[in-house]
Amino acid sequence: MDSEALKKYSALHPKPAGLTLQYGTAGFRTKAEQLDHVMFRMGLLAVLRSKAVVSTIGIMVTASHNPEEDNGVKLVDPLGEMLHPSWEEYATQLANAEERELQKIITEICQKAAVNQHKDASVFIGRDTRPSSEKLSQSVIDGISVLGGQYHDYGLVTTPQLHYMVCCRNTQGQYGKATLEGYYEKLSKAFTELIKQSPSSGESQRHLKIDCANGIGALKLSEMEPYFPKEVLIHLYNDGSKEKLNHLCGADFVKVHQKPPTGLDMEPNERCCSFDGDADRIVYYYKDATGHFHLIDGDKIATLISIFLKELLAKVGQTLEMAVVQTAYANGSSTRYLEETLKVPVHCVKTGVKHLHHKAQEFDVGVYFEANGHGTVLFSKAAETKIRQLAKEEKDDEKREAAKVLGNMIDLINQTVGDAVSDMLVIEAILALKGLTVQQWDAVYTDLPNRLLKVQVADRRVIDTTDAERRAVTPPGLQEKIDALVKKYKLSRAFVRPSGTEDVVRIYAEADTQENADALAHEVSLAVYHLAGGKGAPPQP
């Protein structure tokens, strides 16, 4: 390691005095002007990680659904997964180090993580469409170069596309070609094969309106459009040509505000969907004949996919174990439908994609989605091998055809991470194959009315939870109080959990009517305020 070069370059990317940041589920995120030193140092860290695992590592410059002024950075591990938790710790240390300590901290990381300095390092870089992203990715490149790493800059890509490239590269092309063309070809070929089987194939065109959050999704969908079969007509809105990224639009806005994005006119019963700013989340919605808005969130997406996969697995006749993984935020109606009607096991884990992904890996087929629309399906190696073999060799026509459909589903799904483009194509294929309208899909079950609130507290650490965040262990008496409140309402449940980022406690409540859900949420928020050190005025109904 050339300590003079490190000193020289580090001085070009100085750390603002007094700034401390924490690497979380979303990597680092803050105002773009505070991130130059972080980007440089994540370039350094990616080189160390690459040497440690002797594989290509990804770096994505994005702040996803945050406002345009923000930016952020996430590292991608060899198989396209999120950075290993022990390295999140190193990322935080390196980002917060004073300049004079940099060399020492790098040496410490190398010792702790057994980094072989003599190995080659390779890093893939991608960025979103924010005005600050190009300059910040240049700072990443400075960091990689100082430590002698090789890099490939993919420029403007969606977050899931970068995850895909990293996985392709490290599986020596088994997962696909590590190019944008490779991604478009793999997905569109699988999608075209699936659509061919649909009852109305070739006659009616399928229209879909897409709100691209004024982000990268619009650019990449227009690049991909020539690859789509002619039956599919996508109409892009909020494509970034006029308005600001994520402003009054995008999946997060639609989910939180339960209303359509600006910049998209909806006719009754038209299928519409929204991506978020870096295209790793998707939600669907429509307006009924009376003008009422209906949101179809991650829970309902997981349910549609589960219904379809369960039918196919039954036809194939193999004993493959399928499960759905949710968090405590999943609507109670979805959990009940999956367990009681569909008879699919449901597992609840802590909030955060890494927990869902990790749990889903335990099954032959693991479906996971957060209610916010981030999710995917994982197939075990054994399940995939079995399905591909049946598609080739099975004598029974029905079984073989079902195995072929499953094989195409495996190719269409981006198993590295939630991917709005891939998830959209999966949903469109299932709706076409099952001949379902968006209303019929929505009617599979009715969401229980719910309410999300937050209460400001002096210190969020006073609340500790268990049972996948569904029960509070501390402060004493809080859970007993919640249990008593929940008993007052029908079909109700409520839970509280500390925010991962700020001193607030998040409250979720659901019940048989909106009025009851609101009342329960309010009463729970008062209990939190009084028992967990609320700040400011007590919550008002």
In tens, the pLDDT along 226-252 reads 999 888 899 999 999 999 999 999 999
372 assigned binding-site residue: yes
70-76 and 28-31 beta bridge pairing: antiparallel
One DSSP character per residue, 329-356 reads TS-HHHHHIIIIIS---EEEE-SSHHHH
Q: Determine the pLDDT at residue 201.
A: 54
H-helix or E-strand containing 490? none
The yes-or-no verdict on residue 503 having pLDDT over 90 is: no
The yes-or-no verdict on residue 256 having pLDDT over 80 is: yes
pLDDT above 90 as % of the chain: 91
In tens, the pLDDT along 136-176 reads 999 999 999 999 999 999 999 999 999 999 999 999 999 99
Q: How far apart are CA 365 and CA 324, in angstroms?
A: 9
Q: Determine the pLDDT at residue 209.
A: 97
Query: For the chain, which residues make up each domain, given as ranges?
Result: 3-156, 186-296, 298-418, 450-532
CATH of region 186-296, choose from 3.40.120, 1.10.3470, 2.60.40, 3.30.1150: 3.40.120
What is the pLDDT confidence band of residue 202, given thresholds at 50, 70 and 90? low
Q: Determine the pLDDT at residue 199.
A: 76
Q: Determine the pLDDT at residue 141.
A: 98
64 assigned binding-site residue: yes
H helical segments located in 443-540: 478-486, 514-531
Tokens linked to 103: 């060399």
371 assigned binding-site residue: yes
Does residue 211 sit in helix, strand or coil?
strand
499 assigned binding-site residue: yes
Q: Determine the pLDDT at residue 241.
A: 93
Task: Please state, as a whole number, how many other Cβ atoms lie within 10 Å of the Cβ of residue 131.
Answer: 12
Q: Determine the pLDDT at residue 204.
A: 62
Q: Are 540 and 529 a contacting pair, CB within 8 Å?
A: no
CATH homologous superfamily of domain 450-532?
A: Alpha-D-phosphohexomutase, C-terminal domain (3.30.310.50)
506 assigned binding-site residue: yes
Instruction: Please indicate whether the domains covering 3-156 and 298-418 agree at the CATH topology level.
Output: yes
278 assigned binding-site residue: yes
The yes-or-no verdict on residue 74 having pLDDT over 60 is: yes
206 assigned binding-site residue: no
Among this protein's residues, is 64 annotated catalytic? Answer: yes
Which of 64, 122, 137, 334 does the annotation list as catalytic?
Answer: 64
The yes-or-no verdict on residue 536 having pLDDT over 70 is: yes
Q: How far apart are CA 230 and CA 195, in angstroms?
A: 11
Task: Please state, as a whole number, how many other Cβ atoms lie within 10 Å of the Cβ of residue 256.
Answer: 11
261 assigned binding-site residue: no
Does residue 99 sit in helix, strand or coil?
helix
The pTM score is 0.94
What are 110-117's contacts with CB under 8 Å, separation 24+?
110/48, 113/48, 113/52, 113/86, 113/87, 114/52, 115/48, 115/51, 115/52, 116/51, 116/52, 117/1, 117/51
Q: Determine the pLDDT at residue 205.
A: 67
Q: CA-CA distances (angstroms) from residue 66 to 26, 189, 201, 504, 519?
A: 11, 33, 39, 19, 30
Q: Determine the pLDDT at residue 502.
A: 76
Mean pLDDT to the nearest integer, 7-30: 91
70 assigned binding-site residue: no
Average confidence score pLDDT of the chain: 95
Architecture of domain 3-156 in this structure = 3-Layer(aba) Sandwich (3.40)
Triad 327, 328, 333: Cα angle to 5°: 100
Q: Determine the pLDDT at residue 499.
A: 85
In tens, the pLDDT along 303-359 reads 999 999 999 999 998 789 999 999 999 999 999 999 999 999 999 999 988 899 999
Residue closest to 255 by CA, chosen among 447, 436, 32: 447
Mean pLDDT to the nearest integer, 286-301: 96
Q: Are 123 and 133 a contacting pair, CB within 8 Å?
A: no
Q: What single letter denotes the amino acid at residue 236?
A: L
Q: Are 215 and 263 a contacting pair, CB within 8 Å?
A: no
CATH of domain 298-418: 3.40.120
Q: Are 161 and 180 a contacting pair, CB within 8 Å?
A: yes
